[in-house]
Amino acid sequence: MPASLSDALMNVLGQTWGAPNQLLYYPEAVRASGRFLPNRFTTSGTPVFDLPDTASATNALAAGPYILAGKDVNPVALEHEEGHVRQSQALGPLNFPSDLALKLSGVGYTENPFEARAYRREPESDERSSFFQQREQALRQRSPLVRSLLKLLGGD
């Protein structure tokens, strides 16, 4: 099966499983962008809602199956957020509760397995290296059991 066909199939399956996320996050995408339809799509078909000019033009944020982005967003940041969209599709209706549980448990940004997996999609850079160095330091502060679980979920 060609990569583009398998990507398309995984996208359709992910959107079907992740349909509850579309209902949950669509109002936020509309509110943040001021539009009912996305401005553009990524090469893999993810809807991108452009943020208004008052927001930073280089920022991006995944909101379930959508990306909210400034008009001049860095392609690396867009790829990172695409990683979160794939996570949303994989987790389906468990996406929001999983993210909320991590935040409520006190797991920090660098310890968060969702962030680790998204950073792995990015090309090698100083920012990416710095994230994983900070992640290692933060994980050392955790108990061996919690550290092992966060590493497993983060793909370490």
| Structure confidence by residue, pLDDT tens digits, 5-56 | 777 787 788 778 888 888 888 998 999 899 999 999 988 888 999 988 766 6
What pLDDT, on the 0 to 100 scale, is given for residue 55? 62
My answer on whether 36 and 79 are in the same domain is: yes
Based on the domain organization, do 23 and 76 belong to the same domain?
yes
Residue 57 has pLDDT above 70, yes or no: no
**Structural domain count of the chain:** 2
* Residue 57 belongs to domain spanning: 1-93
Residues 111 and 144 in one domain: yes
Q: How confident is the model at residue 1 (pLDDT cuts 50, 70, 90)?
A: very low
> Does the pLDDT at position 120 exceed 80?
yes
pLDDT computed for residue 3 by the predictor: 56
In a domain, 143, yes or no: yes
CB distance 88 to 21 below 8 Å: yes
pTM of the complete model:
0.82
Q: Is the pLDDT of residue 150 over 70?
A: yes
On whether residue 99 sits in a domain, the answer given is no
139, 108 contact by CB (below 8 A)? no
pLDDT at 10: 76
Evaluate whether residue 100 is within a structural domain: no
What's the average model confidence in pLDDT over 101-111? 88
Residues 18 and 84 in one domain: yes
Task: State how far the Cα of 136 lies from the Cα of 115, in Å rounded to an integer.
Answer: 13
- 40-41 and 47-50 strand pairing: antiparallel
Please give the pLDDT value at position 2: 46
Query: Per-residue b/e over 94-104, b at no fewer than 16 CB within 10 Å?
Result: ebeebbeebee
Q: Report the share of the chain in percent with pLDDT over 70.
A: 95
- pLDDT averaged over every residue in the chain: 86
Contact present, 33 and 51 (Cβ < 8 Å)? yes
- Residue 113 and residue 78 share a domain: no
User: Do 152 and 118 reside in the same domain of the chain?
Assistant: yes
